[in-house]
Amino acid sequence: MNQFNIDIEHTGDYAVIRSDGYINNLGGEKISEECCRLLESGCRNFILNLEKSPIVNSIGVSILIELIERVLESDGKLVFTNLTSTIAKTFRIMGLLQYAGAFPDELTALDEIKKM
């Protein structure tokens, strides 16, 4: 069946989450759970690298919207990196990028988050 994995790198106030696989309801929930756990432990800034998740569905993205809401309500930030152009388009259509930035890669994202 469909494999979905995430890899987390957490240092201080920042966490980089790299997902691998299809982001449907299950994938979205897995990302969301991990980020909520980190939020509760005090982490505020999330870089979500979707390089290995070239396919998402709108149910998965809806779960990410809930997550973005929680992060923003905790005065944190969530940004995306390594989006395929179709996912970037999808997020633009949904208006998501007004609330969660998108950057080409993790380093740029980290730099920009620090400036924000």
Partner 1 sequence: MTVQEIKEIMLTVPMIPDMELAVTKTVESLSRFIPFTGDQVDEVKHAIIEACMNAFEHSRSADCRILLVFKVGPCKLTVEIVDHGKGFDPALVEDPKIENKLFKNVRKRGWGLKLMKHLMDEVDIVSNRNGTVVRMVKYADAYRKEALNESV
- Footprint on this chain of partner 1 (rule: CB under 8 A): 1-2, 22, 54-59, 61-63, 65-66, 68-69, 72-73, 84-86, 89-90, 92-96, 98-99
Cα Rg for the chain, rounded, in angstroms? 13
Q: Nearer to partner 1 by C-beta: 16 or 60?
A: 60
**Which helix (H) or strand (E) segment is 51 a member of?**
strand 45-52
**In 10 A of CB 9, how many CB atoms?**
12
CA 101 – CA 112 distance, rounded (Å): 9
**Which helix (H) or strand (E) segment is 19 a member of?**
strand 14-20
Q: Shortest approach of partner 1 to residue 54 CB, angstroms?
A: 7
Q: Shortest approach of partner 1 to residue 87 CB, angstroms?
A: 8
Q: Shortest approach of partner 1 to residue 27 CB, angstroms?
A: 11
Q: Nearer to partner 1 by C-beta: 50 or 63?
A: 63
